[in-house]
Amino acid sequence: MNKDKYGRKISYLRISVTDRCNLRCIYCMPQEGIKLFPHQEILTYEEIIKITKASKQIGIDTVRITGGEPLIRKNLSFLISQIRNIEGIRDLAITTNGILLDKLLPELFSAGLKRVNISLDSLKRDRFFNITRQDSLQEVLKGIDRSLEIGLTPIKINMVVIKGINDDEIIDFVKLTEERPLIVRFIEYMPWGSINNWGEEKIIKAKEIKSIIEKEFGKILPVDINSRGPADNYQIDGFKGFIGFINPLSEHFCGKCNRIRLTADGKLKLCLFSQQEIDIKAKLRAGTSLEELTEFISNSIHLKPEKIDLDSHIKNHPREMSQIGG
């Protein structure tokens, strides 16, 4: 397994398949959307498959497909089936806003999809609309139900908690885990791009969220659920599901970061909070062999920074999250 120069084993590749999205979340995009990549700049499925094969050669065995919204890209089931068939890929999942999940899940499941993360920031119809600028909450809830019916496991619900926006729904989200085997994860609100009006006063840190939950339900118990991500996971006694906390700001997890990202336009990002991007698409389209591509990725990993530089990240206004894939 390949390690970076700080000794971290890199085993996780997040692949953005599109910068397009069918929502306009207030912390991610302006209502009119953003300038999109020209279609010819987007990696083809064949190029993504080649990068995944090369990544597997250096020890990457976990792949997550993201967007934008990945389910709006046509024939995604083909990509899933091809990645699933790469020997050595042990885990394949997608992150989605869930709007199209009810419709597309049967074919995705048949192609080999076993896990899904669903982004959902409110359980209230009006507030969901205010956050996403789309009246699509019922479609997302149907997608969650279909995921349970078809047998995906685990099913993770990701809630970005923003003070004064949706923090009064924390308990309602916890209750989703009472009778159903869901994993609800609370994510600290991160500064991003040029339009999300981030400010420290809008952050609710994980410790505060945990305190709110324990005030309602009593002591929550840490559990090991073999999560491959950075969440600290807990369970309430008697509940079927779990809750998790992702704390990129209050508790940096740089020391155990095991991932790299591939953007839809063919750049390797070694750290979500870094401006550094490595052009792998140019290598691909120059006819680089699989062996040369493997060496290129291996060498690139050694450029992964030791830790995030939050001040630089905020100052430089990075690309919007939809252009990176989270």
What's 145's domain CATH number? 3.20.20.70
Asked if residue 2 is part of any domain, the answer here is: no
Integer angstrom CA distances of residue 43 from 32, 37, 192, 280, 299: 24, 11, 24, 10, 21
Model pLDDT for residues 294-314, shown as the tens digit of each residue: 999 999 999 998 886 665 555
**Hey, CA dihedral for 192, 195, 196, 199, is it positive or negative?**
positive
Asked if residue 4 is part of any domain, the answer here is: no
Alpha-carbon distance of 185 to 159, in angstroms, equals 6
Q: Where are the beta strands (DSSP E) in the chain?
A: 12-16, 62-66, 91-96, 115-119, 155-161, 182-188, 221-222, 232-235, 242-246, 259-262, 267-269, 278-279
CB atoms within 10 A of CB 50: 18
Q: Assign residue 39 a region: left if phi > 0, alpha if psi is -120 to 50, beta otherwise?
A: alpha
Task: Give the per-residue pLDDT at 310.
Answer: 61
For 277-289, what is the mean pLDDT? 96
User: Is omega for the bond preceding 154 within 30 degrees of 0, making it cis?
Assistant: yes
CB atoms within 10 A of CB 46: 11
> What range defines the domain where residue 295 resides?
12-323
CB atoms within 10 A of CB 237: 9
Residue 195, pLDDT above cutoff 70: no
Per-range mean pLDDT, top range of 67-76, 190-199, 230-239, 247-256: 67-76
Instruction: Give alpha helix (H) positions in the chain.
Output: 45-57, 76-84, 101-111, 125-132, 137-150, 170-175, 206-217, 281-285, 290-301, 310-315
For tokens 């990945």, the residue is 70
Asked if residue 306 is part of any domain, the answer here is: yes
Alpha-carbon distance of 116 to 124, in angstroms, equals 22
Average pLDDT of the residues of the chain = 89
Phi, psi of 325 (to 5 degrees): 105, 10
Asked if residue 3 is part of any domain, the answer here is: no
Residue 224, pLDDT above cutoff 90: no
Structural domains counted in the chain: 1
Task: Give the per-residue pLDDT at 58.
Answer: 95
Task: Give the per-residue pLDDT at 51.
Answer: 98
Residue 169, pLDDT above cutoff 60: yes
Q: Which amino acid belongs to residue 208? A: E
Task: Give the per-residue pLDDT at 26.
Answer: 75
Closest CA to 230 of 113, 88, 117: 117
From 24-33, 138-147, 195-204, 273-282, the region with the lowest mean pLDDT? 195-204
Instruction: Retrieve residue 295's tokens.
Output: 């060496």
Please count the residues of the chain: 326
Asked if residue 22 is part of any domain, the answer here is: yes
Burial of 169 (0-12, 13-18, 19+ CB in 10 A): middle
Task: Give the per-residue pLDDT at 95.
Answer: 96
Residue 143, pLDDT above cutoff 90: yes
Asked if residue 1 is part of any domain, the answer here is: no
Task: Give the per-residue pLDDT at 307.
Answer: 83
Task: Give the per-residue pLDDT at 89.
Answer: 96
Do residues 248 and 189 lie in contact, with contact meaning Cβ atoms separated by under 8 Å?
no
Residue 191, pLDDT above cutoff 60: no
Model pLDDT for residues 5-62, shown as the tens digit of each residue: 899 999 999 999 999 998 887 777 766 667 788 999 999 999 999 999 999 999 999 9
Give the CA angle between residues 326, 228, 89 to the nearest 5°.
Answer: 90
Task: Give the per-residue pLDDT at 227.
Answer: 67
Instruction: Retrieve residue 53's tokens.
Output: 């094969």
Task: Give the per-residue pLDDT at 294.
Answer: 97
Asked if residue 152 is part of any domain, the answer here is: yes
Do residues 111 and 81 lie in contact, with contact meaning Cβ atoms separated by under 8 Å?
yes
Task: Give the per-residue pLDDT at 273.
Answer: 74
Task: Give the per-residue pLDDT at 188.
Answer: 85
Alpha-carbon distance of 55 to 53, in angstroms, equals 5
Asked if residue 256 is part of any domain, the answer here is: yes
